[in-house]
Amino acid sequence: MSQGSIILKLISLPISIILICLGIMTILGGHITPGGGFQGGAMIAGGIILSVLVYGIGNSPFELSHTYIEVLESVGALGFVIFGLIGLFVGGFYLYNVGTDILNVVPQTIQSVLHYPDVTNAGIIPYLNIFVGLKVFAGLSAIAIAFAGFKKYVEEGE
């Protein structure tokens, strides 16, 4: 089901890789700049979708298996829920921003590594962004891959 010309196929993989890197950059800067988990995850999925559209579902360089997508989606959702529950039990509210010093038991060395030294003191927001980004990347990629698979199935049936 390959649809692209040679020129498209030559340029799509580099553009996909650059797009994915930009998405990861957006995820990691989401707490102090416009962007965040959803936007970055959507950019990463955009790179995957570009490859699937140009190379076709069977020849795409990004070959995401069912297990891979399932694990990423689950890790993203589970991490988000765990951070929410930490906020609930420590701060009294779901997703309360408890910061990097949870219950005063985290050593200072680890705190200084986890803490982003910016004026806003983002706390757990960067880590929430990472989990949301994983989940959105897996979800949107799965949708595009499923649609491409359905199209291939219909074309083969005709």
Partner 1 sequence: MLLIWPMIFALILGLIIGSQIKLKNGDTHFTLGSFIVILIAGIIVAWQSGNYPFYTDLPVSTAFLSALIGIFVGKLIFARSK
Residue 131, SS3 per DSSP: helix
Residue with tokens 């649809």: 3
By the rule CB under 8 A, 1 interacts with partner 1: no
C-alpha span between 125 and 35 (Å, rounded): 12
CB 88 within 8 A of CB 114: no
Q: Interaction with partner 1 in 25-84: which residues (CB under 8 A)?
A: 25-29, 32-33, 35, 44, 55, 59, 61-65, 68, 72
Contacting partner 1 (CB under 8 A), which of 70, 81, 118, 153?
A: 118
SS3 category, 9: helix
95 binds partner 1 (CB under 8 A): no
Using the rule CB under 8 A, is 13 a contact of partner 1? yes
Q: Is residue 139 part of the contact set for partner 1 (CB under 8 A)? A: no
In sequence order, the 6+-apart residues with CB closer than 8 A to the CB of 93 are 87
- Cα separation, 115 vs 136, whole angstroms: 24
Taking CB under 8 A as the criterion, the residue among 103, 117, 154, 155 binding partner 1 is 117
Q: Which stretch binds partner 1 (CB under 8 A): 82-90, 101-109, 110-118, 142-150?
A: 110-118
Looking at the Cβ atoms of 61 and 88, the one nearer to partner 1 is 61
